[in-house]
Structure 1
């Protein structure tokens, strides 16, 4: 999903009051952290709330809204405008690192672009040139600097969502212009970051759901340089119904099957509402899918039109999200979406 206004979080946030309703339908237990649970199998719940330090503060607020549910996945992005930012220049990384180190069971999830000018509508021919240059090692030093910065901040176990949505049409780090060299470039980046002493990074390969510009399996760089098979999945075509989103080529079921065949955990770094507005059925189905398939983590994109807590446009979906993820099942207290800024 390209250019969703990620950097303008909260622009369409509004205040809305609704009562929590008990809705019908059978569903697997929600992916909630149980006391004394096994950290190897528990699902880390997260949300993208803001790319900078305000996102850290909002984690606690969202947890409170959910009746104390622990948000173990802190998720943000490095800006893809300049190499300096891709190297980890944003000051907000200090805030995220402090958040991560407060609890041993937390995950810090960081989306990392593979190219600068990542949302600048660079044409395919130029993208192919950039991919080949990266495959030759031209950018290794940028990623080594990022790795050193993360280790120095005390987050050497960061989950790196590298080159996300690579099977799409728009990002400069897209795969389609040269898939074979793109895979070599991914391998160069991972190799460069792994040379840094003290690192324990996990690399998350996270395409868009569906075929998009290229089948994401054609971009898979190899089991030795991928730790997690992720997927960004929003309520939009291809897949008008949730059942279609599961069964479509390169959809949710294929992700699960592919990960199992390659002995990898799965994740959902980005998911949420989109083309079908306030859709509580989708929200219930997606959370049910997550509960059934137990990803390492999932992170709803929580701003309009995708989200629930920071977006007053989706009150019915917010009810479902709260109902299934609250640490107080059956809680019927009235709540408000987070006010706009």
Structure 2
């Protein structure tokens, strides 16, 4: 696992770097165009154990929801059981890897025990030769079996990282040829385990360091990825110098291309120049341009940007570059409103003329008083030819007061319903509400005729016996009687005994 003190021990030019900073050596001018991040799988080293797994979603939130696809940790290099994977935190990383298919688990694996014990070169050379002869094969077979059993057979193994430096016991410099043979034995041993799908990443330090890293390259048959650890430190005062220096960033890209390998940046970050946003910006643009298989920033002080509050400007650049960009708003195209189909107009159904019913006015009979028959005048007595006839008594009509004349109710005729004429062409059925005849206006209330009160019949005048004067009462009806009163007509006939006509 990388620590700041190792970086101090791994370089021999610390004094030169300090001198450059003291003289005010300027960094490269910032580029106008900001980095846009990369489609490469991105991650960060946050902690070696379960805490590293737990911090991944928090880093993702800090980056605006960007997916963290790479989980990166280290096996301890103090004792062989730890190198065999006999540690309790591997299960946590395996579970994280299995949660999503597109995730990648990167595991740095030491090649020697006591890997950070400052072992001198002559002893390192002895250990390298022992490894090349197969003395440590069993340890790496156990590691392979453990990874397959945990369900992470596709782990990316960063084996013997920074082998061109002076820090680790698994360094290459004391015996490069046996070191390459030792690498091959480890890879072939782990690949012999059934079910494995490991990828082996050859990752030197940027620059020459103790030995040019190309001298340690073990061969294309046992290397899948060519990586590089690149921190903000010498050699290279500026980022451009870090690109162009021997065994620098450009040579790394060219070498991998020449060997048909993908590249990676398992470790990168700040180190010697404090809060350096220009370095972070340029490194992110380099990653964006060359599209490595993956990259993981070392995120603890002094290297980090999220967990190290001493680098706020670098953190701002890192966050802005890797936060997913919101899609630009698109002017919505107005929806195409389909033209509604033309609905044929149904034929006009003529409305039948319904005659307005004529309500006949009932004929109310008006009671007519009978006119009395007036007898014709008798012939003159000079020429009597007919014997005297006694005029009949004229009966006075007596109305029936017990029965009130009733007025018959008018009968309202039902209007005839004329048939609807048939349309010449079939038409949809149209529901026409029936036309009802208007209700007849109520007839004014007709006053009931007053019951006729019978008038007393005037007494018939007593006619003297054998009198020559005959009086007949005249009934003019009620209304006329009120005007002229009761009248009678009297006729006098000269039929006395002396006339010669009197029969008695």
Whether these two folds match at TM > 0.5 is yes
Q: Could you tell me which residue of structure 2 aligns to residue 4 of structure 1?
A: 4
2:92 counterpart of 1:99: no
Q: Could you tell me which residue of structure 1 aligns to residue 253 of structure 2?
A: 256
Relative distance call for 1:24 and 1:167 in structure 2 (3 A) is closer
**Count of aligned pairs between the two proteins:** 304
Shift of residue 212, structure 1, vs aligned partner? 0.2
2:154 counterpart of 1:147: no
1:62-121 alpha-carbon deviations (Å, 9 max, x no partner): 001101100101000000000000000121100000000010001000000000000000
Provide structure 2 residue ranges, at least 5 long, that are not aligned to the other structure.
7-29, 328-504
Does the Cα contact within 8 Å between 1:2 and 1:170 map onto a contact in 2? no
2:33 counterpart of 1:30: no
1:289-340 alpha-carbon deviations (Å, 9 max, x no partner): 000000000000000000000000000000000000012469xxxxxxxxxx
- TM-score normalised over the length of structure 2: 0.59
The separation in 1 between residues aligned to 2:4 and 2:308, in whole angstroms, is: 14
Does the Cα contact within 8 Å between 1:28 and 1:292 map onto a contact in 2? no
The separation in 2 between residues aligned to 1:328 and 1:69, in whole angstroms, is: 10
Task: Map 1:8-87 onto structure 2 (within 5 A).
Answer: 25-27=32-34, 29-31=36-38, 42-87=39-84
The separation in 2 between residues aligned to 1:137 and 1:57, in whole angstroms, is: 38
2:176 counterpart of 1:179: yes
The separation in 2 between residues aligned to 1:45 and 1:178, in whole angstroms, is: 34
The separation in 2 between residues aligned to 1:5 and 1:313, in whole angstroms, is: 18
- TM-score normalised over the length of structure 1: 0.87
Q: Tell me, what secondary structure is at the counterpart of 1:187?
A: helix
Q: Could you tell me which residue of structure 2 aligns to residue 280 of structure 1?
A: 277
Q: Could you tell me which residue of structure 2 aligns to residue 291 of structure 1?
A: 288
Does the Cα contact within 8 Å between 1:323 and 1:329 map onto a contact in 2? no
Q: Which has the larger radius of gyration?
A: 2
Question: Whose helix fraction is larger, Structure 1's or Structure 2's?
Answer: 1
RMSD: 1.5
Does the Cα contact within 8 Å between 1:143 and 1:189 map onto a contact in 2? yes
Does the Cα contact within 8 Å between 2:35 and 2:321 map onto a contact in 1? no
1:29-62 alpha-carbon deviations (Å, 9 max, x no partner): 311xxxxxxxxxx410000000011000001110
The separation in 1 between residues aligned to 2:243 and 2:72, in whole angstroms, is: 24
Shift of residue 27, structure 1, vs aligned partner? 4.2
The separation in 1 between residues aligned to 2:273 and 2:3, in whole angstroms, is: 18
Provide structure 1 residue ranges, at least 5 long, that are not aligned to the other structure.
7-22, 32-41, 331-341
Q: Could you tell me which residue of structure 2 aligns to residue 325 of structure 1?
A: 322
Q: Tell me, what secondary structure is at the counterpart of 1:299?
A: strand
